[in-house]
Structure 1
Amino acid sequence: MPRERLSVVVTRRLPESVETRLSELFDVRLRSDDTPMSRAELAAAMKEADVLVPTVTDTIDAALLGQAGGQLRLIANYGAGVDNIDVATARQRGILVSNTPGVLTDDTADMTMALIMAVVRRIPEGLAIMQKGDWEGWSPTAMLGGRLAGRRLGILGMGRIGQAVARRARAFGMQIHYNNRRRLRPEVEEDLEATWWESLDQMVARMDVISIHCPSTPSTFHLMNARRLKLLKPDTVIVNTSRGEVIDENALTRGLRAGEIAGCGLDVYEHGTTINPRLRELPNVVLLPHMGSATLEGRIEMGEKVLLNIKTFEDGHRPPDQVVPSML
């Protein structure tokens, strides 16, 4: 007799091609509308599914895992980060966790450069003038921004995305500096023409642009806190496309309002969709709705990784992108 297909529950709408392939391979329950599941809906899904496919909008904590049915054996996260999942508790309960690393590197690095250029060259301010119909013509002193070439870029977190940003920034003539938990191998440093700083404080005090590419861990929470933000030069720009909680958002807002920080570009926020209203009001701030990885190609590649992880698990093997607590 043919083997019974795995029961898979998907918590958000995914690209059509990914949903179609999931339906072909598994007994899948798809989300009919593109809204996050409530906690009660998540609990119900975890009671019935063999495999749960959540996203970063779903918090799978110890309490929810405690309500999971005995048949739940894999949480195949649709996303590279897994800070939305209590991986240690899942492991204790015999539930594997997988993710989708690597596929969003270039997309996020592209958006990082877009944010740097948007802030330094004041692109949204120019756009606002044109949309309001207030442009009165070219002037030698109007809308003066800055040149990227020659600026010192300090990268916090030199993983895949940080290195991809470094390569792009070099093409713009920027000088590459970085702080990381571990120093890169000499040949990688040489290839990137990157200077390592053991002291984060010393690095941020000397940079023209700071770009954050850290995972969300207890040690990176408010890594850019009020004290460290005070170290920035008043002409420094800060950009974050990683995790919002790495920056103390209230302290950042105070620094920007006081003229102690030249500008910032954010794609992620400390409190999710709740953004400090004073931050929204500032002309030297560029805010995006967490779209750093939002390309069709990237979303489909994420889905392909989810499919591969589930299919490999179904075949009795370790998912290629399995995450264990020691990796975090």
Structure 2
Amino acid sequence: MAKVLCVLYDDPVDGYPTSYARDDLPVIEGYPGGQTLPTPEAVDFTPGHLLGSVSGGLGLRRFLEERGHTLVVTSDKDGEDSVFERELPDADVVISQPFWPAYLTAERIAKAPRLKLAITAGIGSDHVDLDAAIAGGLTVAEVTYSNSISVAEHEVMMILAMVRNYLPAHQWVLDGGWNIADCVARSYDVEGMHVGTVGAGRIGQAVLRRLKPFDMHLHYTARHRLPQRIEQELDLTFHPTPADMVPHCDVVTINAPLHPQTEGMFDDGLIGRMKRGTYLINCARAEICDRDAVVRALQRGRLAGYAGDVWFPQPPPADHPWRTMPHHGMTPHMSGSSLSAQARYAAGTREILEAWLDGAPIREEYLIVRGGALAGVGAQSYTTQHAPPGHTA
């Protein structure tokens, strides 16, 4: 029998919900490009309910315990005395979300001799030391595409909120004011602006497709150029490198995975190549940006705004400078954890577990590491010491 250690974020401060704002979810038939939605044998949850917190348990408890397996769910993940640290040594499976990651470092993997499978409930497995996973013979999997559109929608919302100065204007209302001049002194239209994405995989393309109706000029940079038909359909301008693209853009959005080639990419040098007054949007991974370079650029007016959904570490300390820097639109890492997305990545997590427990193949599109090497989507999106760079996802 297997022990499954699941790390999820805390329940709402007022307790686990007893009712919800909506009664159902829209029916999604499939993902763009033809990939099918998760297909577990069954689910033991109601789509639209809160599944990503501790009490939700990704809807896995009944499934696992009826099969005789052990499920441990906790939000206590950091420090030597954490529940995660205590339960890890005899765990067979670790499940974590990018929003509340259980960092599976090389040291932690070494302490877990029974560990065979690490699952990301969502997308993005950079919280797992992939080199150590490869060396240790682990399988690493994530629920590819389950929340890509969720993140893309969040990015478009952030672009509009930053350019239109929505958050400060809303604050005037909350504070009882009616200061229109203050609200519009930093408010512009996105129409006619140039927006570029670093990375043009599923999320990057989804962002561009959603921005096209706003009559923006669309740019992108990626390791591999998109097919000509997509460039023509969206009227895209390709740039070989981020340094080539950013001087042309009023808005830059980051949609690349974190790996050695992208870590620290947006430093003083690259930000210095951007037009004064550019908006930078990052719902990918915080470490792609130099934390203090972003703060300096906002303080000096090089950037007009920075909005992001990702931090390092997660959760960030109370004194993290991104909490108090000027002209920001930061959110906790929640873009890919909407109730809609949770229904998909919970179902996908169960599908992966069903396959692994039954000795059946895990879908190629879910695989990051298998058999001592990058595999599936991991071979395209990640780099390690054992593998050359793939393309940005």
1:89 Cα deviation from its structure 2 partner: 2.4
Q: Please show how residues 288-307 of structure 1 align to structure 2 within 5 Å.
A: 288-307=331-350
Moved more, 59-68 or 237-246: 59-68
Listed one character per residue, the Cα deviations across residues 251-305 of structure 1 (whole Å, up to 9, x for unaligned) are: 1111111112211212112444147665444552211111211211211211111
Distance 2:266 2:137 in 1: 36
Q: What's the TM-score, normalizing by structure 1?
A: 0.89
Q: Does 2:241 align with 1:199?
A: yes
User: SS at the partner of 2:303?
Assistant: coil
Q: Aligned partner of 1:18: which letter?
A: G
Please state whether the residue corresponding to 1:313 is helix, strand or coil: helix
Q: Which runs of 4+ in 1 moved over 6 A?
A: none
Correspondent of 1:6 among 2, 7, 14: 2
Native 8 Å contact 2:165 2:184 kept in 1: no
What secondary structure does 1:238 align onto?
strand
1:322 to 367, 371, 389: 367
CA–CA distance in structure 1, aligned partners of residues 117 and 189 of structure 2? 49
Corresponding residue for 2:156?
113
- One-letter amino acid of the structure 1 residue matched with residue 105 of structure 2: D
Shift of 1:91: 3.2
Is there any run of 5+ residues in structure 1 with no aligned partner, and where? Answer: none
1:195, distance to aligned residue in structure 2 (A): 1.2
Once the two structures are superposed, what CA deviation does each residue of 1:192-213 show, in whole Å capped at 9, x if it has no partner?
A: 3211101321210110100011
- Residue 36 (str. 1) matches residue 77 (str. 2): yes
What does residue 33 of structure 2 align with? Answer: none
Structure 2: unaligned runs, 5 residues or longer: 9-53, 383-393
Q: 1:286 and 2:286 equivalent?
A: no
TM-score by length of 2: 0.75
In the alignment, which of 185, 201, 204 is matched to residue 159 of structure 1?
A: 201
Does the Cα contact within 8 Å between 2:165 and 2:183 map onto a contact in 1?
no
CA distance in 2, matches of 1:186, 1:163: 14
Q: Secondary structure at the match of 2:168?
A: helix
- Note if contact 1:235-1:262 (Cα within 8 Å) is conserved in structure 2: yes
Q: Which amino acid aligns with 1:185?
A: P
> 1:220/1:319 Cα in 2 relative to 1: closer, same or farther (>3 Å)?
same
| 1:287 alignment partner, SS class | coil
C-alpha distance 276-196 of structure 1, shift in aligned 2 (>3 A): farther
1:83 counterpart residue number = 126
Q: Cα gap change, 1:14/1:312 in structure 2, threshold over 3 Å: closer, same or farther? A: farther
Shift of 1:59: 1.1
Q: 1:268 aligns with which of 289, 296, 310?
A: 310
> Secondary structure of the equivalent of 2:189?
coil
Once the two structures are superposed, the pairs formed by residues 65-104 of structure 1 within 5 Å of their partners are 65-70=109-114, 72-104=115-147
Of the three residues 277, 281, 284, the one matched with 1:239 is: 281
CA shift for structure 1 position 245: 0.8
Q: Which moved more, 1:178-187 or 1:11-20?
A: 11-20
Cα shift readout 1:200-259 (whole Å, capped 9, x = no counterpart): 212101101000111110110111110110111112111111100111121111111111
Aligned length, in residue pairs: 321
Return the alpha-carbon distance in structure 2 between the equivalents of residues 300 and 178 of structure 1. 31
Q: After the TM superposition, which residues 109-258 of structure 1 pair with which residues of structure 2 at under 5 Å, given as runs? A: 109-135=152-178, 142-143=184-185, 145-258=187-300
Cα distance 1:92–1:278, how it changes in 2: closer, same or farther (>3 A)? closer
1: CA distance, partners of 2:186 / 2:7: 46
